[in-house]
């Protein structure tokens, strides 16, 4: 399982893949973040931006951009996570 670690001004974010669910948990100074799989409906990915004074994450959905028909019920799926699991911005 590949993992990436970003460190800036003693703040850390750990991103691990292959969990198939969106989660963001803060433990101490570390954000533990998991994502749904890009190859599964609704085809989402995370965009992390780290600047001198802020760190942010946004979840982007590609479902409307695929060239084949698929269905997905956002209201019946726990893997979407809470709003805080899908996006955040914090000062560093």
Q: Is residue 62 part of a domain?
A: yes
State CA 72 to chain mean position distance: 19
pLDDT for 1 beyond 50: no
Q: Is residue 31 part of a domain?
A: yes
Domain holding 33, by residue range, is: 3-85
Residues 29/47, Cβ–Cβ less than 8 Å:
no
Give residue 24's pLDDT.
Answer: 87
Give residue 58's pLDDT.
Answer: 92
Tens of pLDDT along 22-56? 888 888 878 888 877 777 777 888 888 988 888 89
Q: Is residue 42 part of a domain?
A: yes
The domain total for the chain is: 1
Q: Is residue 90 part of a domain?
A: no
pLDDT, mean over the chain: 78
15 or 59, which is more confident: 59
Q: Is residue 92 part of a domain?
A: no
Q: Is residue 67 part of a domain?
A: yes
């Amino acid at each position: 399982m590949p993992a990436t670690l970003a460190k800036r001004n003693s703040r850390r974010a750990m991103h691990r893949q292959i969990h198939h669910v969106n989660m963001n948990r803060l433990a101490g100074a570390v954000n533990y973040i998991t994502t749904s799989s890009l190859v599964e409906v609704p085809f989402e990915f995370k965009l992390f931006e780290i600047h001198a004074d802020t760190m942010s994450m946004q979840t982007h959905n590609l479902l409307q951009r695929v060239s084949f028909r698929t269905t997905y019920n956002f209201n019946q799926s726990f893997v979407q996570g809470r709003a805080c699991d899908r996006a955040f911005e914090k000062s560093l």
